[in-house]
């Protein structure tokens, strides 16, 4: 499996486990940098491949909303607030599932499920290295230093893989991490300076908020990041399949294979 394929695999695993992603609201905040906790919710959808690598493989899409509370010791409580029933991108995929005997869908968490994470286990980044609550507060307002910290060691091989990796790391940091205004500005500068990133269109997220989409093409995918440029905030991130891929059997080009809408 290529480095980029491994990155996408980790991305899907993390989404399925809902260990993180969302939009942070810090509270309460007093003088200095004392922050009591971080709270956010995430409205997400993702693709799961069943019977991967076989002629009978098919792709199932699911949705889930979660509410997350993170404490300064990087413990967390994740509450599943809503689950959408599994479904298919098109009737052809549904017919393949029926022809296979309509097997049970992969197990999923149900609404009302609470997931406790022990101290030190929560990260504000989707990929290694981890970023704890205290590490987020201690970030310095330097775009280069922030990029080095979130990239990790060793970095993914290949320019495209590194660009995707950095875009996901920086977008998530801007969406959920309880950082100071100078650090937010530095992380924003790091994101908008990535090779190949560009404003692609205006749009709205699933919560109805408007913003500017920034796009990066890393074939066969396009990473789309909905932003509030005035607030230097990430509202939503989605991965769009721009060409058919054997990693997602039956999914046509133009389909969103994973998305997260971040709302406080």
Report the chain's mean pLDDT, rounded to a whole number: 84
Which segments within the chain are labelled E, that is strand?
25-26, 38-50, 58-70, 76-87, 114-117, 198-204, 210-218, 221-228, 233-241, 255-263
Residue 22 has pLDDT above 50, yes or no: no
Per-residue model confidence (pLDDT) at position 34: 54
Contact partners, residue 208, CB within 8 Å, separation at least 6: none
Domain residue limits at 84 = 3-263
172, two tokens: 């998530």
Give the model confidence (pLDDT) of 90-133 as tens digits.
888 888 888 888 888 878 889 999 999 999 999 999 999 999 99
Higher-confidence residue of 108 and 64: namely 64
| 66 in Cβ contact with 76 (< 8 Å) | no
Residue positions counted in the chain? 264
Per-residue model confidence (pLDDT) at position 13: 38
Residue 4 has pLDDT above 90, yes or no: no
Residue 8 has pLDDT above 90, yes or no: no
Spatial separation of the C-alpha atoms in residues 263 and 183, rounded to whole Å = 20
Spatial separation of the C-alpha atoms in residues 72 and 125, rounded to whole Å = 16
Give the model confidence (pLDDT) of 170-214 as tens digits.
999 999 999 999 999 999 999 999 999 999 988 888 778 899 999
Spatial separation of the C-alpha atoms in residues 36 and 242, rounded to whole Å = 42
Q: What is the mean pLDDT of residues 236-246?
A: 91
Spatial separation of the C-alpha atoms in residues 197 and 163, rounded to whole Å = 9
Number of structural domains found in the chain: 1
**pLDDT grade for 31, boundaries at 50, 70 and 90:** very low
């Amino acid at each position: 499996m290529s480095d980029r394929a491994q990155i996408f695999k980790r991305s899907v695993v993390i989404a399925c486990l809902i260990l993180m992603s969302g939009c942070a609201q810090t509270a309460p905040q007093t003088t200095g940098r004392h922050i009591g906790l971080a709270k956010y919710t995430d409205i997400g959808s993702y693709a799961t491949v069943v019977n991967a690598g076989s002629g009978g493989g098919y792709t199932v899409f699911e949705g889930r909303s979660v509410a997350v509370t993170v404490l300064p010791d990087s413990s967390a409580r994740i509450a599943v607030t809503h689950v959408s029933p599994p479904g298919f991108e098109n009737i052809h995929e549904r017919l393949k599932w029926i022809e296979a005997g309509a097997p049970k869908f992969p197990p999923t968490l149900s609404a009302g499920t609470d997931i406790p994470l022990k101290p030190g286990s929560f990260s504000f980044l989707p990929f290694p290295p981890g970023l704890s609550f205290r590490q987020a507060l201690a970030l310095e307002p330097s775009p280069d230093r922030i990029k080095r910290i979130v990239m990790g060691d060793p970095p993914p091989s290949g320019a495209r893989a590194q660009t995707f990796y950095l875009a996901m790391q920086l977008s998530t940091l801007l969406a959920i991490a309880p950082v100071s205004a100078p650090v937010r500005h530095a992380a924003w500068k790091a994101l908008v300076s990535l090779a190949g990133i560009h404003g692609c269109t205006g749009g709205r997220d699933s919560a109805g908020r408007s913003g500017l989409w920034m796009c990066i093409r890393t074939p066969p995918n396009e990473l789309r990041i909905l932003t509030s440029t005035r607030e230097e905030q990430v509202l939503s991130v989605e991965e769009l399949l721009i060409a058919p891929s054997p990693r997602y059997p039956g999914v046509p080009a133009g389909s969103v294979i994973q998305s997260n809408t971040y709302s406080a």
